[in-house]
Structure 1
């Protein structure tokens, strides 16, 4: 999974940087370039280690994604618990802003199997003082690798500013470890190595305290902060309302460092900034809060003193800022430093109100250039120096003009290169158009031909023809947006398939063995039996149902009543597709249309929140027939954990199906708004969900899926986005996710053919087109993983869509290189073992939903 970095992107960034007036010196969201371990920009002599196992596992082999030597850096001895003796050190040569790190173990083509499950990072800006990195909650240990070949990327929150970095393996038991690493970030242009300031203070509001200290400062903090960097240089600007924070899981006021004039009798805050060398300073930008309703304002004046070598200039530079009593928004105040030369700056910021709050301070400067001769004195002959005069440094104007000329020439060359590259791309796209169409057709065939070939009764050719004709309309899926990726050469990366026990050989073979397979698995395979696909109005296949089950259920009378349209009040459109839409509505008096066994949580005279699937009036005959067929089937689904159909509107167009909708929305959005119950959540005042409540919700999903599997229904899109949440954490399984633009990035689009939730799909569903209860079990395991991570990221977020499909090829080849979702922090070992059992390669070895539900019930307190 080698990363290829296009030269054009950094060139464009350079042009933008030269031409734009950026408000902050560094942006952590953009500053994420590999610094040169895998690309070899970092030389071998700049990589060292505490020890090495052998010459072939020396430090120089600890490069991410490279397999040289014996495949990684390995320390000489076994790493023991609670010891930090071994380290891999990278020297970058200059200060860098580091936002991300990547680690990998030693695989060496199957020979090695060593990796670091955990590690710590230490860093240094001067090569002598080493600082232990800790996250925003104070934790130092970083979760590492779960196997020897996966690359695990971890964001450093907060980022670090360092010249040298050490990776130090950590273990909870004695074990051999090996590491390959990469650093990601960009050069630290400020050159700032430390700032000294008074310690931040606490503001006591009537409702809660606001902690305004520099919590990630990496120097000494007693009564003041010395010899370190922290939140004023982390690249994150505070919000207009300082009681809130950009960062999750932290306390109010986290983004700001603040002082009150009551504790500083001089009327100012003095901050001293130390730099890596003498620089020519142009501006200083200070991000200040101005929430004057809380007695907070930006500074009214700043006086800055400059130090060149060891002496401070006697006369300060004074800048007066306007006091703003009208606009409460936070802002950058730019201070003109008038090209002063200095290696340190001491600034006194004067209060304009009771409080002063800073979140970022950045400097714009150039490295100082000196003439080789002394500048002439102000009076006297230019060839001599008067007694008592001190030599003065002066910027060489001729050198400056030469430098500016070179930069202009470089910009013109870069523009020419970009124009040539863009011109070549246009021609390449024209040449590749025809081949791309062919590749898309091949890709479609590889991923979905089984679903189009074997979903019909091949024993009766006329029946097959009619079924094919009736379903042809649904081959084109309504495009939800521009988020889908359509790689033109993905087919080249898919594995070569040969006949196997799990792969259908031909239409006749598949039809003949469908009965035997059903007997073995307890449920017919999507690719091996007569299947009826209920096509939802939004373009999604709601369920895949065996034809026998369909005949038994649809032969009964519809058990739902016609509901008066005038009693529906439309509130919001939840989603749309090729044939219809899904709306959130309020239904008045719908309680009267329900049987006695169903009850609502609202009073009879109160409107009920419902979801309404609406078929477009211009839908063709096939779509209308499918919609009525879906109504018949959905009317028979009666389970406390399955969304239930309540009523219909089918006497006139547009046809409508009214189903339950839960008051807390879908599970994905619900969990993403909550935090795990614990001390950190209490500090941030975020709504919480306990682990026992999570387990209760997981058990309900398993119960609903057990009910569907009992009917031989295959859901095919189980995920948190398709589970709705009611009162007391009640869960009901639905099918709206695919129709919502909010989740369009969860679906991978095969051009003109299908949209697939590949990150939730089993390998055999993606590569062989087989959808079974066993593939739903796979999706259940991914859904549990989502829940235990509180839906903070997509499954396999470190992989792009192509790599996800490549990983399914690893499952097919079964060479032990496949990537599994990692164990979430909240997940106990027994539950993770259950999740791993859901992802077994052999679908017959996966547990049934009955077994999963029984195990979950038995594990609950």
Structure 2
């Protein structure tokens, strides 16, 4: 009987829980359900670009919301949307300003702030801590971003982040109502678990948006309300590239101060009548984890009241046969409250929750005369005094009610007539506006030349060309020249004499000689050079960025493609592809890692891959687990040139055979879409791995904090130098070496890859040049930035930056105090060599001899930089064999 009751209580729990995959309804920006008065903004260019025009796929006014001029990428201009109720947001769609073909403004990136009360604002971050969302690439296309984790809020601010001084946006939000009404929960911080054969398992609430004080979570929401339930095995997660135990918040029963229970407090938007609380709990008893044995909950009618003395208690029926995670539904007996405090009592060593939700009904309070109203600070539910007790004279009650109804009848009729008249007026106004709009649309409207402006920034080293939205006609023409370029373009003037490579050659002959030697076999491989003539690589007509060398930096899938001499990939046919054809239906897509112009990179499971590859397979022992692979896939709309480049990349990858280089396993090219299948490491990339760890110490051991030793870091450096030594021996130039492009397996073996550029996670590491390419300028040598020269010597420079990342544990971006523009300016200082260049600081963990090696990698003259063979020989003795 008890078991039947437990199953009955658990059944509705799974149904009542919100599902982020299905909670994706448009909330009303496009169709007008979100009203104009609910849209506000920090600023606007003109009345015709106000926030009321920030509606997706709508062309009202001048076609979008446009804030005033933004001079910095961190500007705080925002569009604010009041959703009128708490909402579970899962998706955001954005557009630029189309303006009937005349718009040229859009935001390449944006951030989101949100609030549940309109006073306390929080910044949205994804599960890896990145705040920036990818915006638009043109003025008309819709860019959609999944919010993982979802946002629970009433107010949302969309904050454009752009290097252009003018941006315009149209927006739609997607989600569903947040019926729980929960606005915050407080709980002890999650703890670390150590299991034999597994790294430390972090059971913390990583997406919590409140504060952390004295090892408690206060005033926010996080993973317990994100709609993602944990798996039966808490060591597995729904997300990739996160730590073990990520989906659960967990506590150990011997934690000081726990007294055998975990106490949590839940605060709601208003008083509610609570029927059930549903707790998704892990029950993997073989690991010492069980659902709670019992729970007691106390209630507050409003925030300033005391806790009611009578709790609701509920004892669970423990299950030692089924280790499945489950919802436990706790009846709350229709108790009325604004705040609930619950104590969950341990049944074993560990207790883990992944979701908590509530079922309740709104409290309808009787209306009182104004003189009876009272208030309490911060509690809108305490605005009514209790209604007086009804009279014992039952005979008088019907008479009073009847008299009241008769007196209200004329008032009701008058209200109905007024409403009907208002509706008639509104319909007439709508029809009149539509008629006027049709007349205006027939009139030709062009942008006069005098309304195209050119703005010069206040900085002497930057020229910014912009086309703002169409303003009211000016009486005076602008003083400057007009801009007819359909795109923004930024030109960074280091110095007029440094813009022309021919001037560079005349000013510094040794630069010309060293670069030409590199291109013509002088020790470093120059990409895409078939034959060399004097001064061939210094075309006097080349732009500031040598497009001939840079454009191919971004491969078909958006990732880097190794640069090799052109003769090695000429005349490519299908017969040149030696990789085996893998059955396409055995690839199970799990996650999109990134995308480029013509291709995508997916994380997949490959069924039967070890058997397909046979003996000598490069795959590590998976202990019966599925094989994770990275699949680069060409899009159906790819050009013939992109298709040819994709096959070239396959041929290049098939030549690579080194323990520290990612390997091509197989291909799917017998039919479209073309795919290449490469290794993927279960520990993700080195940047993410190190950023989640601390240097090994007695403190990390005592507190079970994930850590790495100095020996581990040196071993990583040696492996990267070994892989790059192999590439250099083949005259391959990587051009994007960084920790984000180094993957790790569970044994800390590193394999150099090329996925970094395609992943949104690392979009801030790349500087975008309009219409050309994306450049990892913080890792690039000065000659690569200024002249577009990519050689093995420039890879050595990037290796020095990668070493710096390793010994800072990837806690910050290189040159984090410099903007992208200042990084480019600093490359000019390296060229000038007048002692004003800025170097990266020496990391505290880095031995002095190793930092000297980094400084050699950043030598101004490429002949002074070490080779990868020399780097490998210098680093190897430091590793404990």
Question: TM-score range, shorter-chain basis?
Answer: 0.3 to 0.5
